Structure 1
Amino acid sequence: MQNTNKWLPYLYIAPCLIFLALFVYYPIVENFFYSFYGFSAFSVEKTFVGFENFLNLFKDDVFYIALKNNLWYAVISIIFQVFGGLILAAILEDKLIQLVSGIFRTVFFLPVVISMTVIALLFTFVYNPDIGILNGLLNILGLENLTRAWLGESETAIFAVIAVSQWQSIGYIMMLFIVAIQNIPQELYEAAEIDGAGKIRKFFSITVPQVKEMFFVTTLITLTGAFTVFNEPYILTGGGPGNSSEVLGTLLYHSAFGKDQMGYASAVATVILMITLIVSLVQLKVFKTGKDV
């Protein structure tokens, strides 16, 4: 009976482990294996090419354009989603706006639950160079020289796409920080008020240190999302014009289903995996956090 109880917890988690093994870890290993072969979707046999797919990838100019765009995604998302989400959460948890904070939480969180397809259609109207809201607003403000085809110009396409991601995702990060802030003991804020600390001082001296674990989680989520993003650039621009808004996710898709280079696409997927793993490990090492998560 004692031996049965010993193995009982493992039986409960066995279905989860089986699903993880079948739908997560096995595809990762299989993809890594495929990255050393050259084949198409309809190939009967696969040709072993060694590191040729990786060498061709690192010689591909489009790969570096995509990597640069993913880096832009990461930097801008950290600034607006993580830092912006923390500031929004701190403001909404302030006593002065407690009565209406629920309304603002709903307003900021609502884009998170909207389908990306719907959001993309919405922003195609926002960015439309002729009848779009953005250019219309700039015209009203007398800034006609700033109007342009936001999704149709190589200089602005990727940043227009990134802006959509910030608008959609900041509410989710904000809610995570709100949960963390609500768990901070109020005695700390009361003691700070007695010492004469203002709102800004309390934010940097109490709120920021107390939410460092959630800061780690949100940063990890944001960085991982930045290097695996696909929906927004694919739906809004398809990686264009040219390759100006290409990201690693769309490069993988175009290689697999556009050029039918499955081995090359597997190499791209392997590089994406390695980048996300390295980013996670560097963050754990440098920030020395996440130990309590």
Structure 2
Amino acid sequence: MIKRRSILIPVIFLLPSVVFLLTFVYIPLFQNFYNSFFSFSVFSQTKTFVGMENFRIFFNDRVVPVALLNNFKYAVISVIFQVAFALVLAYILEDKIFRRVAPFFRVVYFMPVMISISVIALLFGFIYNPQMGLLNSFLELVGLGDWGKPWLGNATTAIYAVIAMSQWQSIGFIMMLFIVAIQKIPKDLYEAADIDGAGKIRKFFSVTVPQVKEAIFVNTLITVTGSMLVFNEPYILTNGGPGFSSMTMAVHMYQEGFVKDNMGYASTLAICIFLLSAILAIIQIRLSRTGKDD
């Protein structure tokens, strides 16, 4: 009886999580995979089986390469700023010199995370405005007026303008995760480095980086997978335009499903996004080898 209860109690505690995952993750995932073999609209009562036709359309879709490239641009730039730069920023704020002002700057950098993405999009829409925007006005003020352009209306700069807004909002969150990781590093390691005559840069690479490698892995995983799923920023700022120069896979999926009313192909795009995110996550896990003995 006691042995049965010892088995039953963990099952009872795990059951709500299992039900939640089945209801909101795994069942919809398999349902979406099933839908990718059909052609149907949002309100259609029947579905037409088309086999691999949606996947053939996917490989011939001229928007997909642009969207994938934009997602990869998002991922690379996000890793540089949201992981690498955020780690440097966290290390600086945890330095003894900045101890008194660190709480103030933590709030300053974290505040954009708490602001609604819609509000931030309106703010950056004003900053990027070609006539009265702050960015072009600043460039003109410092004598670089020739560099001014319609940032969101230019096919070359639109995606980078969207990515810049995303970095401004998200860097504070990753920075706070790194601050928590750095605060857990034993002070003895820094004291030993001081005795050995190590400078701040040497301590950063020899003490801080190795000690927060688990946090680096987690933050990189969050950032890269999030870059594959990015939707709000490009949809609100440019809706994938001009043309489809700032299109991402998630925006393309939304437009196919809810604008063009092609839910079967939208399901195919969703499956491809999932597979791409899963593959990148597995690659990162394999390369990082975190949590394993050296």
Name the TM tier (shorter chain): over 0.9
- How do 1:177-192 and structure 2 match up within 5 A? 177-192=178-193
DSSP 3-state at the match of 2:45: coil
Determine the C-alpha separation between the residues in 2 that align with 1:33 and 1:289. 35
Residue 94 of structure 1 is matched in structure 2 by: 95
Determine the C-alpha separation between the residues in 1 that align with 2:177 and 2:292. 18
Structure 1: which amino acid aligns with 2:20? F
Structure 2: which amino acid aligns with 1:197? A
TM-score for the superposition, normalised by structure 2: 0.97
Q: Deviations over 1:175-231 (max 9, x none)?
A: 010011001011000001000000000000000010000000000000011000000
Determine the C-alpha separation between the residues in 2 that align with 1:133 and 1:70. 27
- How do 1:1-293 and structure 2 match up within 5 A? 1-2=1-2, 3-290=4-291
Determine the C-alpha separation between the residues in 1 that align with 2:291 and 2:227. 20
Structure 1: which amino acid aligns with 2:166? S
Higher mean alpha-carbon deviation, 42-51 vs 69-78, is at 42-51
Structure 2: which amino acid aligns with 1:141? V
Determine the C-alpha separation between the residues in 2 that align with 1:242 and 1:150. 14
Quick one: structure 1 residues 197 and 290, their matched pair in 2 at CA, closer, same or farther if it must change by over 3 Å?
same
Structure 1: which amino acid aligns with 2:137? G
DSSP 3-state at the match of 1:149: coil
- Alpha-carbon contact 1:39-1:261 (below 8 Å) kept: yes
- Alpha-carbon contact 1:216-1:290 (below 8 Å) kept: no
Quick one: structure 1 residues 123 and 291, their matched pair in 2 at CA, closer, same or farther if it must change by over 3 Å?
farther
DSSP 3-state at the match of 1:142: coil
How much has 1:291 moved relative to structure 2? 5.0
Determine the C-alpha separation between the residues in 1 that align with 2:292 and 2:235. 36
Uncovered stretches (5+) of structure 2, i.e. residues with no partner? none
Provide the aligned C-alpha RMSD in A: 1.0
Determine the C-alpha separation between the residues in 2 that align with 1:19 and 1:201. 46
Uncovered stretches (5+) of structure 1, i.e. residues with no partner? none
Structure 2: which amino acid aligns with 1:140? L
- Alpha-carbon contact 1:252-1:265 (below 8 Å) kept: yes
How much has 1:287 moved relative to structure 2? 2.1
Structure 2: which amino acid aligns with 1:216? F
Determine the C-alpha separation between the residues in 2 that align with 1:4 and 1:87. 50
Quick one: structure 1 residues 8 and 269, their matched pair in 2 at CA, closer, same or farther if it must change by over 3 Å?
same
TM-score for the superposition, normalised by structure 1: 0.98
Runs of 4+ in 1 over 3 A off after TM superposition: none
Quick one: structure 1 residues 238 and 111, their matched pair in 2 at CA, closer, same or farther if it must change by over 3 Å?
same
Determine the C-alpha separation between the residues in 1 that align with 2:59 and 2:78. 26
Determine the C-alpha separation between the residues in 1 that align with 2:56 and 2:200. 54
Q: Deviations over 1:123-146 (max 9, x none)?
A: 111100111110110010000110
